């Protein structure tokens, strides 16, 4: 087991020992940064049956490698798949829903927007709460927050009796216009605490206080369905970590690209659904900026999936609503597109003779055939072994030795024989199909959104990503690929490069014309107060950096654009704040849709705040290159033929460009450098692959 370390901070933070652990579908990645700036990494197998075991395993390896007592840890961050796995596998709590009379079918009706417009036969995903567990109560709040009909508390007691008979484990409460006035929802929660003692209750005005009843109901129902599982996971993990001597709380990565204390994360588990992928994008954005690359396409290719994202001007792109396994979630989240293309993706020939790769994966158990652990299906990893990119002389994660014979046998049996071709051509076809799947998805998040990949840099992350960087870049006509210092653990590294962050928003629909700035200030003050409370709970800091935005739309439009809202450091709105927001909306609308409506009035739809703790994230130096000779040459299948390629250790890459073909090896990944490409070291220990353009 080799130890990888490097200097990560020219000016070390005395007494600061940080640990980040990200649990993936196949591997759990762990990173430790000590007070002298030394970086230690670990990669252990994930444990799908109990993912906390993988977390604790990674923590144990870091302890052994660094020689540091776990009690010395000052900061512990975690990216988790617990919420994602629960949704994908439908391992959700038994939820009951309470809503207004006449709105029992809100989850069944949805938005009536079909995912496939012309597909009338594929059923929609089953709602989190079936109709028999949706109950109604009497009472109504109006659109201005006025009480139209008082809450009938007897109907609430009757609803609780129905849910008790249904043996619900948790209750979601979603009432009309609770985002304006939450009194009825709050009173229902008080009554349920008496009628259903011990049953958690989540209310929509806490989870997603925004317009659009279905989105709010779906988000609240999903949050409720995850509460018992995530709450138990966080509590159990905290106890297990404490029993090993760790004295600090666990911070969890949220989908918005920020960290939150475990207590806050457990109360809003729906905010964790893209926890790990968000950490990878944050890490890529920070490392790209250090290397002078701020316009990025990132792809994080692990063992099970490839997570794709866009970074514009150094900032990961965030969406305010998304879909997870067919369930709509109306919370801010780093805009990540997940594709079923990983090192463990299974290749097969279908009944029509076509080669398919993914989305099924061999996962951690049994894994690719090359792992020698009983896997029989051909995978992307097996294809790389057949083509010489990976060999038995190297180990994965410092421990796992590869079995080339099993890889050849799996590719031959599963692909070569059914297709009537050689094992080499079959393996090359597997790689080509996987690359095509990822390239198509990268076009969806770039070209389809008006971005030109040719003007961007591709960031190759994950244990498998750097093996596909050059081929994907050529497919997209890109000329630069950035490979971070430790791409196989960038998501874990991203946990240490981000900040404690909370995103809050509130719908407040008003015409912008004639809007009094003092009325807007009241809304800003309310959000600022909530943000400071959350910062104090998460980071023990009453102050922090607050960034305000406003959602605007033309009157009559269904959807809005988010634009900056001019609020100074003291929390006061500038006198011209609304005018500035209108001008920003006009420019944003022109950029997004290529037209504006000059004579159409605008509406303010929502006000949002992003609150960040004042702590500064660490920066990376990456150490110096080690002058050494190539480790040798070997035959690698590249671009349709066998070629002699240099074999280099990652540490030997310096500022002088190294030409391909070459294979650059390190413990957590392998980088494949195509002919016509060069590799050189840049800031933070990253290497930049550049294609020669004639």
DSSP run (H or E) holding 193? helix 183-195
Q: In this structure, what are the phi and psi dihedrals at residue 283, rounded to the nearest 5 degrees?
A: -60, -40
Nearest by Cα to 371 from 303, 417, 434, 426: 303
Quick one: pLDDT at residue 136? Answer: 95
Predicted confidence band of residue 146 (pLDDT cuts 50, 70, 90): very high
Residue 3: predicted pLDDT: 35
CA distance 486 to 31: 10
Q: Is the peptide bond before 290 cis (omega within 30 degrees of 0)?
A: no
* Mean pLDDT in residue range 408-435: 93
Inform me whether the pLDDT recorded for 467 exceeds 80: yes
The domains found in the chain, sorted by start residue, are 88-230 (no CATH), 501-612 (3.30.1490), 632-691 (no CATH)
CA-to-CA distance for 274 and 255, rounded, in angstroms?
5
- In the chain, what is the greatest distance between 2 CA atoms, to the nearest angstrom? 81
Q: Residue 505 gets which letter from DSSP?
A: E
Q: How far apart are CA 585 and CA 661, in angstroms?
A: 48
Sign of torsion over alpha carbons 321, 30, 52, 363: positive
pLDDT at 629: 63
Taking residues 212-225, report their average pLDDT: 92
Given this model, what pLDDT does residue 68 score? 87
474 CB-side CA count, 13 A: 16
Looking at every residue in the chain, the average pLDDT score rounds to: 86
> Quick one: tokens of 262?
């475990």
**pLDDT 10s digits, 103-125:** 999 998 887 777 777 777 777 77
CA distances, 97 to each of 192, 218, 265 (Å): 12, 10, 22
Query: For position 297, what pLDDT does the model report?
Result: 96
β-partners of residue 136 are 99
Is the CB of residue 407 less than 8 Å from the CB of residue 382? yes
Across 633-637, average pLDDT: 90
Q: What is the mean pLDDT of residues 672-678?
A: 95
Give the contacts of 616 (CB within 8 A, at least 6 positions apart): none
Over residues 579-591, mean pLDDT: 92
The answer to whether 535 touches 500, Cβ cutoff 8 Å, is yes
What is each CA distance from 263 to 114, 189, 538, 579, 625, in whole angstroms? 37, 20, 8, 39, 43
pLDDT in tens, 504-543: 888 899 999 889 999 999 999 999 998 888 888 766 555 6
Residue 213 has pLDDT above 70, yes or no: yes
> How many other C-beta atoms are found inside a 10 Å radius of the C-beta of residue 57?
18
Residue predicted with more confidence, 427 or 306: 427
pLDDT of residue 616: 55
Specify the pairing of strand 27-33 against strand 39-45: antiparallel
Pairing of strands 95-100, 170-174: parallel
As separate numbers, helices (DSSP H) first and strands (DSSP E) second, the chain gives 17, 37
Residue 441: Cβ within 10 Å count: 18
User: Mean pLDDT across the stretch 656-668?
Assistant: 89
Backbone angles phi, psi at 552, to 5 degrees: -120, 155
Q: What is the pLDDT of residues 253-292, one digit of tens each?
A: 888 888 888 888 888 898 888 887 888 898 899 889 989 9
CA-to-CA distance for 494 and 503, rounded, in angstroms? 19
Place of tokens 């409370």: 533
Q: How far apart are CA 156 and CA 162, in angstroms?
A: 10
Indicate whether 392 pLDDT > 80: no
At 82, phi and psi to the nearest 5?
Answer: -60, -40
DSSP-derived letter for residue 71 is G
The pLDDT of residue 375? 85
* pLDDT for the residue 504: 87
Q: What is the pLDDT of residue 607?
A: 93
Burial of 110 (0-12, 13-18, 19+ CB in 10 A): middle
Q: In the sheet that 632-638 helps form, which strands lie side by side, from edge to edge?
A: 632-638, 641-649, 662-665, 670-673
251 SS3 class: strand
Q: What secondary structure letter does DSSP report for 621?
A: -
Residue 14 has pLDDT above 50, yes or no: no
Q: Among 78-82, 135-139, 552-556, which is the least confidently predicted range?
A: 78-82
Q: What is the pLDDT of residue 12?
A: 35
Closest CA to 270 of 254, 281, 257: 254
What pLDDT sits at residue 11? 36
Cα–Cα distance measured from residue 170 to residue 224, given in angstroms and rounded to the nearest whole number: 6
Query: Which three-class secondary structure string do you get for 121-180?
Result: CCCCCCCCCCHHHEEEECCEECCCCCEEECCCHHHHHHHHHHHHHCCCCEEEEECCCCCC
Partnered with residue 328 across adjacent β-strands are 323
Instruction: Dump the DSSP string for 647-679.
Output: EEEGGG--SS-EESSEEEE-SS-EEEE-TTEEE
- State whether the Cα torsion 524-530-533-539 is positive or negative: negative
State residue 1's pLDDT score: 29
Of 311-320, 619-628, 666-675, least confident by mean pLDDT is 619-628
DSSP for residue 379: B
The reported pLDDT for the residue numbered 470 is 96
């Amino acid at each position: 087991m080799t130890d990888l370390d490097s200097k990560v901070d020219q000016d070390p933070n005395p007494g600061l020992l940080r640990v980040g652990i990200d649990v993936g579908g196949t591997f759990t990645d762990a990173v430790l940064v000590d007070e002298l700036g030394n970086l230690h990494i670990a990669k252990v197998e994930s444990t799908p049956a109990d993912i906390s075991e993988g977390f604790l395993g990674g923590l144990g390896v870091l302890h052994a490698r660094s020689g540091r007592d776990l009690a010395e840890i000052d900061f512990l961050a975690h990216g988790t798949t617990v919420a994602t796995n629960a949704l994908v596998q439908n391992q959700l709590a038994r939820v009951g829903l309470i809503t207004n009379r006449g709105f029992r079918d809100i989850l069944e009706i949805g938005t009536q927007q079909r995912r496939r417009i012309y597909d009338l036969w594929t059923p929609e995903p089953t709602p989190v709460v079936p109709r028999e567990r949706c109950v109604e109560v009497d009472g109504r709040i109006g659109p201005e927050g006025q009480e139209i009909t008082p809450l009938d508390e007897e109907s609430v007691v009757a609803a609780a009796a129905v849910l008790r008979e249904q043996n619900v484990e948790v209750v979601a409460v979603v009432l009309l216009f609770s985002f304006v006035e939450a009194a009825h929802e709050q009173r229902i929660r008080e009554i349920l605490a008496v009628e259903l003692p011990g049953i958690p209750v989540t209310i929509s005005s806490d989870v997603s206080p925004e317009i659009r009843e279905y989105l709010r109901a779906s988000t609240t129902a999903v949050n409720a369905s995850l509460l018992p599982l995530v709450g138990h996971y966080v509590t159990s993990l905290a106890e297990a970590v404490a029993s090993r001597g760790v004295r600090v709380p666990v911070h969890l990565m949220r989908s918005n690209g920020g960290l939150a204390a475990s207590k806050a994360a457990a109360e809003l588990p729906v905010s964790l659904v893209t926890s790990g992928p968000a950490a990878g994008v944050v890490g890529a954005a920070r490392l790209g900026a250090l290397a002078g690359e701020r316009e990025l396409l990132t792809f994080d290719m692990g063992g099970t999936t490839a997570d794709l994202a866009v970074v514009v001007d150094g900032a990961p792109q965030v969406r305010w609503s998304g879909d997870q396994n067919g369930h709509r979630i109306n919370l801010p989240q780093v805009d990540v597109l997940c594709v079923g293309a990983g090192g463990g993706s299974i290749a097969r020939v279908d009944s029509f003779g076509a080669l398919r790769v993914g989305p099924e994966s061999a996962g951690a158990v049994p894994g690719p055939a090359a792992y020698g652990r009983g896997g029989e299906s051909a995978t992307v990893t097996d294809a790389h072994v057949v083509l010489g990119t990976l060999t038995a002389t190297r180990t994965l994660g410092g421990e796992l030795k590869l079995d080339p014979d099993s890889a050849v046998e799996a590719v031959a049996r599963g692909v070569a024989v059914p297709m009537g071709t050689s094992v080499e051509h079959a393996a090359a076809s597997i790689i080509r199909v996987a690359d095509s799947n990822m390239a198509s998805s990268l076009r969806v998040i770039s070209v389809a959104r008006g971005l030109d990949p040719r003007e961007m840099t591709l960031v190759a992350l994950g244990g498998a990503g750097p093996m596909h960087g050059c081929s994907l870049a050529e497919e997209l006509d890109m000329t630069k690929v950035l490979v971070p210092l430790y791409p196989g653990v960038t998501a874990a590294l991203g946990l240490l490069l981000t900040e404690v962050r909370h995103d809050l928003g509130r719908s407040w629909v008003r015409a912008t014309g004639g809007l009094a700035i003092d009325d807007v200030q009241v809304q800003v003050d309310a959000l600022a107060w909530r943000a400071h409370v959350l910062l104090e709970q998460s980071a023990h800091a009453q102050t922090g950096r607050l960034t305000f935005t406003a959602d605007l739309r033309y009157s009559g439009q269904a959807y809005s654009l988010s634009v900056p809202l001019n609020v100074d450091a003291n929390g006061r709105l500038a006198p011209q704040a609304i005018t500035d927001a209108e001008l920003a909306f006009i420019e944003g609308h022109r950029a997004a849709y290529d037209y504006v409506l000059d004579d159409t009035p605008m509406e303010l739809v929502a006000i949002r705040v992003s609150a960040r703790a004042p702590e500064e994230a660490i920066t990376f130096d990456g150490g110096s290159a080690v002058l050494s000779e190539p480790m040798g040459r070997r035959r690698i299948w590249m671009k349709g033929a066998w070629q002699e390629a240099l074999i280099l250790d990652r540490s030997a890459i310096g500022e002088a460009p190294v030409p391909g073909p070459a294979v650059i090896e390190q413990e957590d990944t392998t980088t494949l450098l195509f002919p016509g490409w060069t590799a050189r070291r840049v800031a933070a220990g990253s290497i930049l692959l550049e294609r020669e353009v004639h």
